[in-house]
Copies of this chain bind each other. A is one copy, B any other.
Amino acid sequence: MTKTGDIRQSRTNLDIRNGQVNLSHGSGGRAMAQLIASIFVKHLDNELLRQGNDQALFNVEAGRMVMSTDSHVITPLFFPGGDIGSLAIHGTVNDVVMSGAKPLYLSAGFILEEGYPLAELEKIVISMAAAAKQAGTAVITGDTKVVERGKGDGVFINTCGIGVVPAGVNISGNRAQAGDAIILSGSIGDHGVAIMSSRENLQFATTIISDSASLHNLVADMLDVTKDIHCLRDPTRGGLATSLNELAAQSAVGMVIEEQKIPIKSAVRAACEILGLDPLYVANEGKLVCICPAEHAASILTTMQQNPLGKNAAIIGKVISDDNHFVQMNTAFGGQRIVDWLAGEQLPRIC
């Protein structure tokens, strides 16, 4: 069954302003074709999507490719700094670019709950289209399913992305080496706190905005400095603490980070205190951790700071030898503590 709808089936207009998703929009029949044509293809439009087949066909050159997927179940669907549509693009683009790859194409799979307003769905799709364009990629194939009221929660979006890794780039979580520097691209906790504040309807003097953004340009800038970057990871669910622990375990190394070097906005720090959150474990959606040979750290950092998405980048620590693969932190008060993996669920449905 075609994934992209046939525009010729859309002569009967969908009432986007007042309409709601109903089960027929997931049927594979005329109503689904209308929904796809009037919302998905209309806004996500590109030559490959327009092929109108069950799959999109494209040319590739010989080389190395990456594939990554993320399902997005964030609540609320609209939040300060973004919505599930832009997040679904940024999230997968970032997973692709954390290999050093240039994003190539994306797929999108929607699971819609019966009764969801079509006008809201259109806003989400418009936001996806803008985010994909900004990241230099496109949604080339998709799928729509509808579940009954109470069997979903408005909109869930899966995206899958593929990208092409430039020659000479070898970035993987298992490549950190003792002596490497650890660079963080900016302040932590913005996304998680923006979502929690929005859920709890908390008002702060300054609105806290999600950092949700595609990091493709930042990574490209960094690779222009040197291809000799060992690891990149975006500290999403589980936050910076979990990403560092993952990398330490994968590379069989330890790490020491300096609490005072980790950028945290004062509003985020204050909100975390109110909400009882440790910012080290709060999700980010537009930040990355870079592990690189110490000799490249200063020049990579300078370049990152010239990119708007890296302007608060900082070298926050270093990789050490440690058979326990511990992440240790020298605290602001001069002590030292182990920064463990996130245990339990700090923030459900944060992405």
Name A residues whose Cβ lies closer than 8 Å to a Cβ of B: 1-3, 6, 8-9, 22-24, 26-33, 51-73, 95-96, 98-99, 101, 105, 107-111, 140-143, 145-148, 150-153, 156, 158, 160, 162-163, 165, 172-174, 233-239, 242-243, 246, 249-250, 281, 283, 325, 341-349, 351
Contacts and interface: CB of A to CB of B under 8 A. Distances in A.
B242 A67 contact: no
A28 B346 CA distance: 9
A143 B111 contact: no
Total copies of the chain: 2
Given A51-B172, A99-B53, A27 B237 contact: yes
A158 B345 contact: no
A158 B236 contact: no
20 contacts: A8-B249, A24-B345, A26-B345, A27-B238, A28-B283, A31-B344, A32-B237, A51-B172, A52-B174, A52-B250, A54-B98, A54-B99, A55-B95, A60-B64, A70-B143, A72-B145, A73-B151, A107-B160, A148-B349, A158-B160
Nearest to A7: B249
Contact of A343 (B29, B234, B237, B341): B29
A338 to B, nearest CB: 14
Contacts of A68: 3, 54-56, 107, 141
A71 B59 CA distance: 25
Contacts of A162: 67, 162
A174 B7 CA distance: 13
B30 A342 contact: yes
Given A1-B236, A9-B249, A33-B341, 8 more contacts: A24-B345, A30-B342, A30-B343, A54-B68, A54-B98, A57-B65, A61-B62, A67-B107
Contacts of A341: 9, 29-30, 33
A98 B51 CA distance: 13
A342 B54 contact: no
A22 B345 CA distance: 9
Nearest to A74: B145
Max count, chain B CB within 10 A of own CB: residue among A26, A31, A108: A26
Max count, chain B CB within 10 A of own CB: residue among A22, A56, A68, A142: A68
A26 B344 CA distance: 9
A87 B291 CA distance: 40
A69 B141 contact: yes
Nearest to A27: B345
Given A1-B235, A29-B341, A250-B6, A71 B348 contact: no
Max count, chain B CB within 10 A of own CB: residue among A66, A146, A239: A66
A33 to B, nearest CB: 7
B342 A249 contact: no
B234 A346 contact: no
A105 to B, nearest CB: 6
